[in-house]
Amino acid sequence: GQPRLPWCHVLANPTFGTLVSDKALGFTWAVNARENKLTPWYNDVTSDNRGEMLLLRMDGKLYDTVWGATPTFGEGFARYEGHCGTLNTTVTVSVPAAGMYKRVELELENTTEEEIEVQAAYYTEPVLGVDRRHARHTAARWEDGALLLRNPFAQVHGGMLLTAIGGADGCDCDRGSFLSGNWGGGTLSPVPDPC
């Protein structure tokens, strides 16, 4: 059966890594896993690190592509196979042997003959340091389909970039607005509760 507590898999190289679990996309760091978390890590064995999510929206419904999917962990990758409505989904996560990025690939298979309109969003809760204490100061810039985030209080690196192949269509850095369904509102940080 399925384990009661999250079980995890580390994907890393000497300067960058991510810790994923069987139920979540985990947390990511650059240079130093304690001093420069890009997304949050929670030291709670009964819950999971959900500061990163790949979400789909179809017919007014919201789906987490990883939660409830079947995980496969291998050397250098994590794969999640699941269902979102009438779509079969495959999410593959990897970190290159050299380089400072996390690659998240999404494959969708429509199991019906009907055309389906799908929106995908990658959600993160930026830390850009030790913890989210200074998250409200995170500055964001939207440029050519990429979101650049920077924490002026960071001691190590303090920045990250989020994009999609070909560029993303939009962003929203206000957590409340995003979780209310406003995925492309264009609100940029600094805001009191950024995502």
Dihedral pair phi/psi, residue 180, rounded to 5°: -90, 0
Instruction: For residues 177 and 190, give the distance between their C-alpha atoms in angstroms, rounded to a whole number.
Output: 14
Instruction: For residues 150 and 141, give the distance between their C-alpha atoms in angstroms, rounded to a whole number.
Output: 9
Instruction: For residues 141 and 131, give the distance between their C-alpha atoms in angstroms, rounded to a whole number.
Output: 21
How do the pLDDT tens digits run along the chain, 195 residues long? 666 777 899 999 999 999 999 999 999 999 999 999 999 998 777 778 889 999 999 998 999 999 999 999 999 999 999 999 999 999 999 999 999 999 999 999 999 999 999 999 999 999 999 999 889 999 999 999 999 999 988 777 779 999 999 999 999 999 999 988 888 888 999 999 999
- By the 10 Å C-beta count (0-12 exposed, 13-18 middle, 19+ buried), 81 is classed as middle
Dihedral pair phi/psi, residue 148, rounded to 5°: -105, 125
Global confidence as pTM:
0.93
